[in-house]
Structure 1
Amino acid sequence: MAAKAFRSSFVFPNRDQLSWFPGHMMRGMNKMQHVLKYVDCLFEVHDARIPFTGRNKTFKHRIGIKPRILLLCKSDLALWNSRQRNVIKEQLMAEEDYKDVLFCNAKMDKDPVLKGLVARSIEVVNNEDRYNREFVPDYRLMVCGIPNVGKSSIINALRRIYMARKKHKVAEEGARPGVTRALMERVKIVDYPPVFLYDTPGILPPSISCIDTGMKLAIFDYVKPSLENECIADYLLYQLNSYEVFNYVKFFGLKEPTDNIGDLLTKIAEDGHMLISSGSYLRRYDWSGASLRFLSQFRKGYLGKIPFDEVKPKTNVREYEVNETYFLGNIEVQSELNDSGDEVTTSNEQSKEDKRRLIGDVTNLISSTG
């Protein structure tokens, strides 16, 4: 793809347009706190594509001492490799005191992480003080998170795995935030030992302090802002161009990448015959509908993956892991894994060939003195 100049910055809208905290969220939070005394462990669900952005950090203070496991769902749509996932896990566990951070895919039939989730949660609970539930034979878990992130999908996936009822959905799923508006009754997901699960309404932070956070949440449809769809689509186009991810060019039949959201939306609307009436005889392209299609295709993974959140590496120099360290005289030698997984041996003073020669000399010296 030929190099082309794109915007180096994005002009954000008014932050107030991104705030969304309807009354049912506050009521849901209050009911959650009331039920918590009957709960042993919480599953906090969030999107693996934005592991650091938009999580409701008030959960940490509201739930008190109850253990939490963070489930980063939609992992199949996330960019991160195994090393980056480990970095994300370590950072989140250090910052938020989670008992575990797991990447999962609720749409995958019998996801291996979800298959072991109940056993992992029981292990966490048994290692904690259960207080008033110490002698209760069943286990009660609660799912919480921001709106539309996939909480109900997690419950239905667990139900399919453990209860073998593939066609029966006990939690309603929706493509828009705010589907679950009330705390549900407990749902049984395992017969023995008895394990029950509570679904909860999606709850955002009362205010979004960073406008960049609000725009990311809007791209993934986790808030219902008063912004026009075209503005959100324009921010997505800006991000795709910034990372040189041009899958949208071929997908929507463009000749080349564009930095003009109007050109992109016009092409989408024209090909999709998306027209709206404007007066008695005039008709114009439906840019709002075209924006929704652009955003929808990205959410499904058809337009590529980009790192919305920055993942800091373990070291500023190299990402490989040190397996072992040993000493030959006063020379430190390290056995390491390079990026392809092959073992590489390095020292702080000599090349690889010099180290082999040194090891041979030491071996000969030991044999001669023996």
Structure 2
Amino acid sequence: MALMHIPMPSLPIPPSWFPGHMMKFTRMLPALLTRTDVVLEIRDSRLPLTSINRTLEGALQKWRLERGWDPNNPNRRIVNAGACERLVVLNKRDLVPEWGMEPFRRAMAKKFPDQQVLFASWQRPRDIRNLSEILVNVARKHPHAMELNVLVIGMPNVGKSTLLNALRNMGIKGRTPKAFQTSAQPGLTQALSTRLKVCLDPLVYAFDTPGVMLPFLGRGVEGAERGVKLALIAGIKEGLYDMEALASYLLYRLNVLNPISPAYLALLPEGAQPIVDLHDFLEQLARRMGMIKRGAELDTTRAAVYFVRWWREEGGLIAASSALQMGDASVLNPGESRTQGWGFDFQWQLSPEDKPTSKDGDAAIVQGKMEACIDEYLETMEREESGENNLSPTQIKKQQMLEEKLRRKQKHMKR
């Protein structure tokens, strides 16, 4: 039986995690871009919007304008003096359903025409070969250049180093040592790497960079949800979030992705039904897994940790195997709707009016829903950046101190 009402749980205030090496790289970026030909931005397929680091957008847009791209037409280049391309790679593609990939690509092409978007996984040689060929083709378009320099950027733990290692192994024949250390925990890469050769003919070099978190995740529900999403993919330092808070949101999101047969049912006894209440779910899971504390009490805290770690590994693959349920729209009564989602960033309502009108109808409907989600994301970002919602209390205090120092300096100069 499908869940008809899936309430979002209350979420904690997001912590601030912005170590000094992240601030250092953010300040270095404009200078690094002067010797960069291709920006390879890595995002997590499960969070294709949340894993956008908008604090880097200003530097990237300035870089494009300085290299001759038309500010009024992202597809037109006024001066073509050298390579200047931005590739967005949605990594870990095996953790999102296949049916949403093409609609997402089309939606992004419509909303962000200056970005080339592709899905990849380091475990799929075809994806790495495709990415390598794209970089080689960019290099061959500019034969006068002696080499192509690629700067790899992205948030923590989106898989930058792992993808670069795979790209190097694909581009250079013979045995090549793993060039970069990798870790399941965020923040391992803390400095700009030395140049890594990823192709010999033409000559292509890549720089790995530290994963950069947002300085402030935001206020209200949007900021709280943003923080929990990033913590779930291990993009935020472990220990800053209570595991039960993460488990609560994970349970909610898996119910949204498949309200009929959510992925977590694989953990429960046969015949179990979808669950909304976290305490009930964790008790069932603890009982199923034999997680008992002293006094024969169920260890729900341990069950929450197990649930989150399960999803980060095999659970994510189970969730990604769900099929598109567009046929559900035909069984809804007039005025009724059903929640549907893809990844953790896309959620919409399916109504009786959502009926395919062509062979490609299902994909077209999904694309339209995704475009609406992207518009909502852009509106939220614009609203936050126009006010003080993008500044933490500490940042506001520092800003006020700088303003006060400036006033005192001006007052002293008038004397």
**Would the TM-score normalized by the shorter structure come out above 0.5?**
yes
Would you say 1:191 and 2:200 are equivalent positions?
A: yes
Counterpart-to-counterpart distance in 2, 1:296 and 1:75: 18
Counterparts in 2 of 1:285 and 1:226: CA distance versus 1, 3 Å: farther
The match for 1:203 is 212
Counterpart-to-counterpart distance in 2, 1:97 and 1:223: 30
Q: Of residues 245, 249, 254 in structure 2, which corresponds to 1:240?
A: 254
Q: Of residues 77, 89, 92 in structure 2, which corresponds to 1:71?
A: 89
Shift of 1:92: 2.6
Counterparts in 2 of 1:186 and 1:319: CA distance versus 1, 3 Å: farther
The match for 1:262 is 279
Q: Which has the higher helix share?
A: 2
The match for 1:8 is 7
The match for 1:138 is 147
- 1:213-238 Cα deviation digits (max 9, x unpaired): 22222222222373211111011112
**Partner of 1:304: helix, strand, or coil?**
helix
Counterpart-to-counterpart distance in 2, 1:292 and 1:167: 37
Indicate if the aligned counterparts of 1:49 and 1:79 stay in contact, CA closer than 8 A.
no
Would you say 1:295 and 2:292 are equivalent positions?
A: no
The match for 1:310 is 346
Counterpart-to-counterpart distance in 2, 1:3 and 1:312: 16
Counterpart-to-counterpart distance in 2, 1:241 and 1:252: 14
Q: Of residues 162, 165, 176 in structure 2, which corresponds to 1:153?
A: 162
Identical-pair percentage: 27
Q: Of residues 123, 137, 155 in structure 2, which corresponds to 1:123?
A: 137
Counterpart-to-counterpart distance in 2, 1:285 and 1:164: 54
The match for 2:54 is 57
The runs of 5 or more residues in structure 2 that have no matched partner are 65-83, 321-340, 364-415
Q: Which has the higher strand share?
A: 1
Q: Match of 2:153, as an amino acid?
A: C
The match for 1:337 is 359
**Partner of 1:61: helix, strand, or coil?**
helix
Would you say 1:28 and 2:16 are equivalent positions?
A: no
Indicate if the aligned counterparts of 2:132 and 2:170 stay in contact, CA closer than 8 A.
no
Indicate if the aligned counterparts of 1:54 and 1:213 stay in contact, CA closer than 8 A.
no
- 1:259-283 Cα deviation digits (max 9, x unpaired): 332343344445556567xxxx879
The match for 1:103 is 119
**Partner of 1:337: helix, strand, or coil?**
coil
* Residues 99-108 or 208-217, more deviating: 208-217
Counterpart-to-counterpart distance in 2, 1:303 and 1:144: 29
Counterpart-to-counterpart distance in 2, 1:48 and 1:202: 16
The match for 1:19 is 16
Greater relative contact order structure (CA < 8 Å, 6+ sep): 2
**Partner of 2:41: helix, strand, or coil?**
strand
Shift of 1:5: 7.2
**Partner of 1:116: helix, strand, or coil?**
helix
Indicate if the aligned counterparts of 2:39 and 2:152 stay in contact, CA closer than 8 A.
yes
Counterpart-to-counterpart distance in 2, 1:168 and 1:271: 43
Shift of 1:155: 0.3
Q: Of residues 37, 41, 50 in structure 2, which corresponds to 1:40?
A: 37
* Residues 146-155 or 211-220, more deviating: 211-220
TM-score (norm 1): 0.72
The match for 2:171 is 162
CA RMSD of aligned residues (A): 3.2
Indicate if the aligned counterparts of 2:21 and 2:190 stay in contact, CA closer than 8 A.
yes
- 1:267-312 Cα deviation digits (max 9, x unpaired): 4445556567xxxx87966544432321122223254245222278
Structure whose CA Rg is larger: 1
Indicate if the aligned counterparts of 2:243 and 2:305 stay in contact, CA closer than 8 A.
yes
The runs of 5 or more residues in structure 1 that have no matched partner are 129-133, 321-335, 342-370
Shift of 1:149: 0.4
Give the length in aligned residue pairs: 308
Indicate if the aligned counterparts of 1:56 and 1:205 stay in contact, CA closer than 8 A.
yes
Runs of 4+ in 1 over 6 A off after TM superposition: 281-284
Q: Match of 2:195, as an amino acid?
A: R
Q: Match of 1:292, as an amino acid?
A: V
TM-score (norm 2): 0.65
Counterpart-to-counterpart distance in 2, 1:228 and 1:85: 32
Counterparts in 2 of 1:197 and 1:288: CA distance versus 1, 3 Å: farther
- 1:290-348 Cα deviation digits (max 9, x unpaired): 323211222232542452222789xx86666xxxxxxxxxxxxxxx635599xxxxxxx
